[in-house]
Amino acid sequence: MSSVKLRGSLPASLCPFRPDFSIDEDAFAAHVRWLATASKGGGIVCNGHAGEVASLTRKERKRVIEVAVKEAEGKAPVVAGVYTDSTPEAIELARDAEAAGARAILLFPPPVLGGGGNRTEIMVLSFAKSVAAAIDIGVVIFQFPIAGLGYPTEILLRLIEIPNVVGVKEGSDHLPTYEKNLRAIKKARPETSVLTTNNTMLFASTALGADGILSGSGSVVADLHAELFEAVQRGDLRAAQAVNDRIWPLTQVFYCDPIVNMHNRMKVALEYLGRQPKTVIRPPLQSLSDEEKARIIRGVQEAGLRRTQA
């Protein structure tokens, strides 16, 4: 069974589209190349929320992985999201990811687990074990806030017992819960990577001992996430705070209400920076107002990000 150690900056890639809503493979390839360098090889996550995975067909999802693997080869491991309500389909998507060259999958909790399913151990474990057993690559468990699809700590600990689980994307979005889960995971299975995705408390959650940062905002600032992580690792909290001060204005413009537009906003930032072509998102998502776009651009400028040519 293949294994991978996930550590450092693991940006969740966006998925650029052409005006006809088809995937712009050239723009995506360029995006992955930048991420692979900026993240300093931590890893690249595709087919996540940031990549508008819910709007992609099975064929498109596999193609996204293939392009990501090709462009990141020798630079960073690729982790591919598996998002669906169906266990049989999740198995197919996981096998597609393995066949396309991904080193691990990011296993989303099925939306059907809402309404208490996330707290029903037999449902959670049956789903995760079935998918994990179908592949020979790593599995990263996606931990949501407990009020949504998040797993109680006791169930999370059962999930990391699965042999090929290599990490947890910890998104509890509540610092005491995050710390509780982090400590419990590390006590039970120290080799499991805990990757924070708590964007409104990124500095704090990294400083508590995260093995890395897995975030959609990394699509814009994978380099700053790498700097933040490295500063914390060497114990230079002043340097880490300085990096966090640059990230902060972006957090404010990306993760504001309505949260459904967070990745739409990141595309606007990349367009302004010259790293991606004109922002296109797939319906039912809609273009942002000129006023909101202006706020995003001010956030980018306040963060001191440099504009380049696409």
Res 84: pLDDT? 97
Res 310: pLDDT? 43
Rounded Cα gap, residues 245 and 239, in angstroms: 10
Res 148: pLDDT? 87
Residues 126-136, mean pLDDT to the nearest whole number: 98
Q: What is the pLDDT of residues 63-118, one digit of tens each?
A: 999 999 999 999 999 999 999 999 999 999 999 999 999 999 999 999 999 989 99
Residue 260 has pLDDT above 90, yes or no: yes
The three-state secondary structure class of 22 is coil
Distances from the Cα of 77 to the Cαs of 1, 41, 90, 217, 280, in angstroms?
A: 16, 7, 21, 18, 27
What is the second-level CATH architecture of the domain 8-255? Alpha-Beta Barrel (3.20)
Rounded Cα gap, residues 223 and 212, in angstroms: 13
Residues 172-199, mean pLDDT to the nearest whole number: 97
Residue 309 — pLDDT band, cuts 50, 70, 90? low
Res 93: pLDDT? 98
**Domain positions in the chain:** 8-255
Rounded Cα gap, residues 64 and 56, in angstroms: 10
Residue 1 — pLDDT band, cuts 50, 70, 90? low
Rounded Cα gap, residues 101 and 137, in angstroms: 10
DSSP letters spanning 30-75: HHHHHHHHHTTTS-EEESSGGGTGGG--HHHHHHHHHHHHHHHTTT
Q: Which helix (H) or strand (E) holds 167?
A: strand 165-170
Residue 308 — pLDDT band, cuts 50, 70, 90? confident
Rounded Cα gap, residues 118 and 78, in angstroms: 27
**pTM score, whole prediction:** 0.96
Tell me the angle at which helices 218-233 and 25-38 cross, rounded to the nearest 10 degrees. 10
Assigned token pair, 247? 């990230």
Residue 147 — pLDDT band, cuts 50, 70, 90? confident
Please name which of 175, 250, 241, 170 lies closest in space to residue 211, comparing C-alpha atoms.
170
Are 159 and 185 in contact by the 8 Å Cβ rule? The answer is no
Higher-pLDDT residue of 148 and 216 is 216
Res 74: pLDDT? 93
Residues 224-228, mean pLDDT to the nearest whole number: 98
Res 143: pLDDT? 98
Residue 38 has pLDDT above 80, yes or no: yes
Share the mean pLDDT of the chain: 96
Percent of the chain with pLDDT over 70: 99
